[in-house]
Amino acid sequence: MTVTTLRYGGIATSLVAIAVAGCSGGHEPGGMYKAADAERLASVAPRTPGWPPWPQQPEPKKKPSSGESVEEVAARDPILAEYRRRTARIEQPDGWDSSNRWRDEDKLANLVVQVFETATDAHVGFLASNDLSRAYGAKFGFVVKAGTVDGLGDEAWRLWAHGNGRQVTYHWRRGNLATEVHVHCYGDCPDADTEVDAAARAWAEAIDEEARSVGG
């Protein structure tokens, strides 16, 4: 999990394998979705009808520059420490996740896809990530709304937050697959909560439709 405080303010939270267990290994998950599915789904670019165009390519991936280990960060960050405690027993080898970010001067879209060994593990990760996002939303801004939503995957959750603009995060689980989309409008884009929510939901549904085709 990376927590990025943007230069525009606000918070973008992303779940990646290093925050769960960070172990290495070459085997595939036991569930329907495999490691390659995470990479494929993470390439689905933002689909936000009525919004200005997004960059054609995601940002190049960068390694964390702080030099701190996750353990060192968690030692001074009780929110991250609690997330790691709740997910400590989940197997999450390197390569079982993928992420991408699209950003310009007005808006940001962040996508993270994880596969887990089982649907039960994915459910545990889903619940923990919901509380993680809510806690960081309150720490770095103001949480307007948070709760479960229907019609997306096997279970889904949504967060509305304000922090130098309006932000909406969706988490959902389908089988042993867990996905997060985060959309943040801080410039020239539709900036009502309902409009940011509609954009995030449209993107989430496009990704979930692709996931259904991947999973057969």
* pLDDT tens, position by position, 102-161: 999 999 999 999 999 999 999 999 999 999 999 999 998 899 999 999 999 999 999 999
Contacts (Cβ under 8 Å, ≥6 apart) of 205: 152
pTM tops 0.85: yes
Query: Between the CA of residue 13 and those of 79, 120, 135, 191, what are the distances in Å?
Result: 12, 22, 10, 20
E-strand spans in the chain? 2-5, 11-14, 97-103, 107-115, 142-149, 155-162, 166-174, 177-185
Report the pLDDT averaged over residues 2-25: 43
**Calpha distance 170→152 (Å, rounded):** 10
Task: Determine the structural domain holding residue 38 and report its residue range.
Answer: 2-214
| Confidence category of residue 214, pLDDT binned at 50, 70, 90 | confident
- How many domains is the chain partitioned into structurally? 1
Taking the CA of residue 98 as centre, how many other CA atoms within 13 Å lie in the half-sphere pointing to its CB? 13
What three-state secondary structure class fits 42? coil
CA-CA distance, 35 to 95, in Å (whole number)?
6
Q: Are 181 and 211 in contact (CB under 8 A)?
A: no
Tens of pLDDT along 17-60? 344 444 445 688 888 999 999 999 999 999 999 999 999 999 99
